[in-house]
A and B are shown apart, each in its own frame.
Chain A
Amino acid sequence: TQLLEQSPQFLSIQEGENLTVYCNSSSVFSSLQWYRQEPGEGPVLLVTVVTGGEVKKLKRLTFQFGDARKDSSLHITAAQTGDTGLYLCAGVRNQAGTALIFGKGTTLSVSS
C-alpha cells in the first residue's frame, strides 16, 4: 500500500504552460516536503509545509497543504525547460516516525 500517491506519474508539456501535480494520502501528516530531482543528481528540498491550509510560494511554484493535512499540491506557472525533473513529495507522519515516507514522484518534462 502506497501511503503517498502522486499524480500524474508523467507529465509532458510545452514551455509557458501551467501545471499542477498532486500528492494525496488517507493518512494525516504533521508536515509534507517537496523535492525536485534532476537527472544524475540527488533530490533537493524545495519547500516544507506544516500548517493545514498553508500556501507557500517559491517564484513560479506555489505549494499548498490541505486543510486536513492529508494532501498537497504543487502548481507551476509558465513552466520553463529548467523545471524538468522528478518531483517528489515526502511526509512526516508523527514525531515517532522512523523516516520520511516518499511518494513515487511525478516526472515532468518541459520542452521548448
Chain B
Amino acid sequence: EADIYQTPRYLVIGTGKKITLECSQTMGHDKMYWYQQDPGMELHLIHYSYGVNSTEKGDLSSESTVSRIRTEHFPLTLESARPSHTSQYLCASSESVNQPQHFGDGTRLSIL
C-alpha cells in the first residue's frame, strides 16, 4: 500500500499556466525530496527538505519552487509552465538521509 501520495497522476496543460503538484506522506518522515525523471532515465534531484520550514535546491537547476509548512505535505509549484517542463516528477520521503526513500507513483506532466 502507498504511504506517499502524489496528485495528479497525469496533467496536460497549456503554456503559461501556474501548476502545483501535490505530495503527501503519512509516515511522519522529516526528509522529503522531489526528483525529475524523463521516461526510463535517471533521477535528478531538484528539491529537498529536512523538515518544516526547511527547503533546499537539489543538483539539477529547476524553475520550480517548493514549500514545507507541514511535515506531511511538500508541494511543488511552477509559476508559469513551459514545454521544457514536460517530464515526470517523483516525490519521496525518508526517515533520515541514509535510510531508504519511499517514492510516490509520480506526476506525468505535459505542457503544450
**How far is the CB of B46 from the nearest CB of chain A, in Å?**
11
B98 in the interface, Cβ–Cβ < 8 Å?
A: yes
A99 & B105 in contact (Cβ 8 Å cutoff): no
B105 & A42 in contact (Cβ 8 Å cutoff): yes
Chain B: interface residue count, which band? 20 to 34
B41 in the interface, Cβ–Cβ < 8 Å?
A: yes
**How far is the CB of A16 from the nearest CB of chain B, in Å?**
24
Give the dominant DSSP class at A's interface: loop
How many chain A residues touch the partner (CB < 8 A)?
25
A98 & B105 in contact (Cβ 8 Å cutoff): no
CA distance A88 to B104 in the complex (A): 16
B42 & A102 in contact (Cβ 8 Å cutoff): yes
Question: A24 — which chain B residues lie within 8 A by C-beta?
Answer: none
Residue in chain A with minimal CB distance to B104: A42
Interface membership of chain A positions 1-44, coded 1 if the CB is closer than 8 angstroms to chain B and 0 otherwise? 00000000000000000000000000000110100000111111
CA distance A92 to B9 in the complex (A): 29
B42 & A104 in contact (Cβ 8 Å cutoff): yes
B105 & A40 in contact (Cβ 8 Å cutoff): yes
Q: Which of B21-54 contact A (CB under 8 A)?
A: 31, 33, 39-43, 45, 48
**Closest CB pairs A-B (n = 6):** A42-B103, A104-B42, A92-B98, A45-B100, A102-B43, A43-B103
